[in-house]
Structures are given as structure tokens and as C-alpha cells.
Amino acid sequence: MADDKEQAAQATIHQLVNLIEQNPNDYAPYVDLINLLTTLENLPEAEELALKSLSLFASQPAALEQLNYATGNVYYMAGKYEQAQTFFQKINDVQLQHDALMMQAQAAYNQQKYQQALAFTLTGVEQQPDDLAAQILLGNLWLSLGDLVAGGQAFESALELDANNFDANFGRGLVALSKGDPNNTWLKQAQALDADKYQQQGAVLDELMRTRLGKDDAE
């Protein structure tokens, strides 16, 4: 199965390269190839193509919108969050603005810049209240900042969008656990939804409680 996927990916790469060679003035195949290389974690190649493409299409605003977003994703995947944010900040396209904003929020969150991430996320949730990932990130941010009430509300909003989402249930369960209820329904639901992921999370549950909820070993 893995070999089949790899062969399919390589075939798609060749198709995109052919499209670029046939029409080098069309930016769409460049964007698609950058995204595919990023998904495949061929990040040096993706970065090289992204920077080259930004130079090639520097005079085309529509192309730059797509290419800046794709380039931001390359750096995000590489863990270079500050560089990623510089590209996401350039997005003006209405169709991409929300996603770019949430990528900035996630990048800031990964750097533990919680207040900055919160500002981005609150704006993102205001833009699209039905964005499940944004609501979950908002919940995690509030917990990181020690606000259990706001965190619980965000996870409740996420559960209204998808009652069977693991992260929403696990986050809401953390809130309940912080209030002294180790057998809460949300953690049970999370375990039922994905036992393996729950076990992975459970292995670092104490750490999550300390970092997200302001607990420490002395307690």
C-alpha cells in the first residue's frame, strides 16, 4: 500500500512538472507542486520551488496570494514558525485570509506565544464560528492561559459542531478533570473514539495538566 501511494505521488509530481514545462506562465501547477512536496515532507525541494516561484510571479498579485500561502505552509511544516508567519501575513485574498490567520495562530501557539495566538484565534472564531479547528485551538489557548471557564466554553462550542471529535472531548475532559472529576464523560468519550490516541495523550496527561492548567508537581 505504501509503495502504491509513493508511486501515485511520483506520478502526480511528473504530471505537474510536465504542466509547468508546457506552460511556465501558469502559476497553478507551481502551487500544486509546492503543496504536494510539502505534504510528502520533501521540504528542501518545496522551499526551493516556492522561493523560485515567488520570484517568477512577483508581478502577479493573484499568483502571489496562493504562493505566499503555500510558502508559509512549507516553513510551518519545517517548524520555522516565524518565517511561516511572515508569508501568512501577506495574504489579502478573501478566500485565503481566514486560513492564513489560523495558520498564524497555530504558529504562535506552537511557539508558546499564547497571547498573540489568542488574538489571532479570537478573530478567526469571530470570522467563522463554525470552524471546528479554530474552536479547539481557542479552548487549548484558554487552558494554556489558565482560564478554565473560557476554555470549557470553547470546547463546548466545538462539541456542538462535532460531538464525536476526539480533541474537543479530550479538552473538555481536561477542564472537568481540573475540577476533580476523574471519571467524566468527555474523557470516556475520547477514549472510546480513539483508544490509541487517548493512550498517547494519557501518557502525558500530568504534563498537560501542569502546562495547560497551571498545575505543578508540588500540588
pLDDT digits (tens, 9 = 90+) for 127-147: 999 999 999 999 999 998 989
Q: For domain 1-92, which architecture applies?
A: Alpha Horseshoe (1.25)
Domains 1-92 and 117-219 share a fold: yes
Mean pLDDT of the chain: 91
Residue 24 CA to residue 61 CA, distance in Å, equals: 17
Q: In percent, how much of the chain has pLDDT > 90? A: 77
pLDDT at 52 over 50: yes
How many helices (DSSP H) and strands (DSSP E) are in the chain?
Answer: 13, 0
Alpha helices, DSSP H, located in the chain: 2-22, 28-39, 43-56, 61-77, 81-88, 94-110, 114-127, 132-144, 148-161, 166-178, 185-193, 195-203, 205-213
pLDDT, residue 18, reads 95
Domain boundaries, the chain: 1-92, 117-219
**pLDDT-based confidence at 184, cuts 50/70/90?**
confident
- In angstroms, how far apart are the furthest CA atoms of the chain? 66
> What nine digits make up the cell of 7?
508511486
Considering the entire predicted model, what is its pTM? Answer: 0.86
CATH number for 117-219 (one of 3.40.50.300, 1.10.3760.10, 1.25.40.10, 2.60.40.10): it is 1.25.40.10
